């Protein structure tokens, strides 16, 4: 097998692993969050979940469960997943993580006054501000209900719940830092990475480590948490990179919109530290009005400052470090997929 074929096979295996689990998660969402009275509230709560999403976090959770249990991928019913003494509803845990993710998107879109998400209007635009706040609050409670319904023994349930609650606290702290950074020009790359850890990476860490908690595989909890934390950080850096390096058509939004909106990213913060006058890179502040050429020149200056390379290397370092923690798991196919997904997160182009 040539290296290139191997690369293609890996890419295919990752895509298949994500697609298969995404379909199962998509089936489980209406079961876990049925539309009930008051209907408008539940429709708003389901709106973003139904609009799509890659379901990366639940995929990580389900694969981690399979790797820990040392079972062939997709060989077990996630609703009755084999644990030492009883079966565990691993799908309820997976949906719980996606439910938290959806709650944070709804509230973040209000705070950032974003009109669109996943190709549809944001919830506060499609419905209204009050309904969007309440939809987020409802998903928040439902995520805890879902995590309480895995059927794991009480001690493990309490630990999983505790992990979920502290994760939510950290996400709020991270979002608060992100907002505070908007009015500061002296944010360092280290501060930015700490914010990303809180806002984004801890939910990957929870997704990766909670199956170890639920299955009672205590020695895997810490390493899987570190795996999730590192790939979660890399995921955000890749998001920052994609905004600059992928053509607008492929990105589904204007390339360089972070620059237009003066959003701080790991790339602009590094460039600032290198003395680049980041604020003047794209003078326009209307995404519609900006010329492709202006973005092109801005990216060239960021490249010249070494900032794009810095971000790329950082993302790859984090992925490498994250993957090392997988060694705690048995050597099996699910572990290979977790390894591949880590690479996928920094190689993806969407």
> What separation in angstroms does the CA of 115 have from each of 109, 122, 128, 224?
7, 5, 12, 35
Q: Which of the residues 100 through 119 are near a copy of itself (CB under 8 A)?
A: 107, 110-111
Q: What SS3 state is found at 222?
A: helix
For residue 120, list its beta bridge partners. Answer: 117
Taking the C-alpha atoms of residue 265 and residue 262, their distance in angstroms, rounded to an integer, is 9
Backbone angles phi, psi at 241, to 5 degrees: -70, -45
Backbone angles phi, psi at 2, to 5 degrees: -75, 165
* Entry field: residues in the chain: 350
Q: Which is nearer to a copy of itself, 170 or 270 (CB)?
A: 170
348 interacts with a copy of itself by CB under 8 A:
no
Q: What SS3 state is found at 117?
A: strand
Site for a copy of itself (CB under 8 A): which residue of 50, 76, 80, 173?
173
31 interacts with a copy of itself by CB under 8 A:
no
216 interacts with a copy of itself by CB under 8 A:
no
Q: Which is nearer to a copy of itself, 140 or 235 (CB)?
A: 140
Site for a copy of itself (CB under 8 A): which residue of 30, 52, 75, 129?
129
Strand runs labelled E in 139-276: none
Counting Cα atoms < 13 Å in the Cβ hemisphere of 262 gives 13
Q: Which is nearer to a copy of itself, 145 or 331 (CB)?
A: 145
Site for a copy of itself (CB under 8 A): which residue of 2, 5, 154, 183?
154
176 interacts with a copy of itself by CB under 8 A:
yes
Q: In this structure, are residues 146 and 96 in contact, taking their beta carbons and an 8 Å threshold?
A: yes
Q: In this structure, are residues 88 and 81 in contact, taking their beta carbons and an 8 Å threshold?
A: yes
141 interacts with a copy of itself by CB under 8 A:
yes
Stretch that binds a copy of itself, among 58-66, 142-150, 199-207, 286-294 (CB under 8 A): 142-150
Taking the C-alpha atoms of residue 17 and residue 72, their distance in angstroms, rounded to an integer, is 12
88 interacts with a copy of itself by CB under 8 A:
no
Taking the C-alpha atoms of residue 74 and residue 90, their distance in angstroms, rounded to an integer, is 12
30 interacts with a copy of itself by CB under 8 A:
no
Nearest one of 146, 165, 239 to 196, comparing CA atoms = 239
165 interacts with a copy of itself by CB under 8 A:
yes
203 interacts with a copy of itself by CB under 8 A:
no
Q: Which is nearer to a copy of itself, 112 or 333 (CB)?
A: 112
263 interacts with a copy of itself by CB under 8 A:
no
Site for a copy of itself (CB under 8 A): which residue of 11, 51, 120, 161?
161
Q: Which residues bind a copy of itself (CB under 8 A)?
A: 37-38, 40-41, 107, 110-111, 129-131, 133-134, 136-138, 140-142, 144-145, 148, 153-155, 157-158, 161-162, 164-166, 168-169, 172-173, 175-177, 179-180
């Amino acid at each position: 097998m040539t290296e290139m074929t191997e690369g293609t096979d890996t890419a295919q295996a990752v895509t298949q692993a994500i697609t298969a689990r995404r379909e199962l998660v998509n089936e489980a969402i209406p079961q876990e969050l049925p539309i009930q009275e008051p209907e408008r509230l539940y429709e708003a709560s389901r709106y973003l979940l139904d609009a799509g999403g890659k379901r990366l976090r639940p995929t990580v959770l389900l694969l981690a469960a399979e790797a820990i249990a040392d079972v062939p991928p997709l060989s077990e019913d996630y609703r009755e997943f084999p644990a030492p003494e009883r079966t565990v509803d691993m799908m309820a845990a997976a949906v719980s993580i996606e439910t938290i993710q959806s709650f944070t998107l709804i509230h973040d879109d209000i705070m950032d006054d974003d009109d669109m998400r996943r190709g549809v209007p944001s919830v506060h635009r499609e419905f209204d501000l009050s309904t969007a706040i309440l939809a987020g609050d409802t998903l928040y409670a439902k995520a805890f209900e879902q995590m309480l319904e895995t059927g794991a023994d009480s001690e493990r349930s309490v630990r999983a719940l505790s992990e979920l609650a502290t994760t939510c606290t950290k996400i709020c702290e991270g979002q608060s830092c992100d907002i505070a950074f908007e009015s500061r020009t002296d944010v360092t790359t280290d501060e930015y990475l700490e914010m990303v850890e809180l806002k984004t990476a801890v939910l990957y860490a929870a997704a990766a480590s909670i199956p170890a908690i639920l299955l009672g595989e205590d020695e895997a909890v810490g390493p899987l948490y570190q795996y999730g934390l590192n790939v979660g950080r890399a995921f955000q850096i890749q998001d920052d990179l994609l905004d600059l390096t992928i053509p607008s058509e492929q990105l589904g939004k204007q390339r360089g919109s972070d620059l237009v909106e003066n959003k701080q990213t790991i790339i602009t913060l590094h460039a600032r530290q290198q003395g680049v006058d980041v604020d003047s890179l794209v003078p326009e502040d209307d995404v519609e009005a900006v010329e492709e050429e202006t973005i092109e020149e801005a990216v060239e200056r960021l490249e010249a400052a070494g900032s794009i390379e810095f971000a790329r290397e950082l993302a790859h370092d984090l992925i490498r470090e994250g993957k090392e923690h997988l060694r705690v798991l048995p050597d099996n196919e699910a572990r290979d997929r977790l390894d591949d997904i880590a690479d996928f997160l920094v190689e993806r182009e969407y």
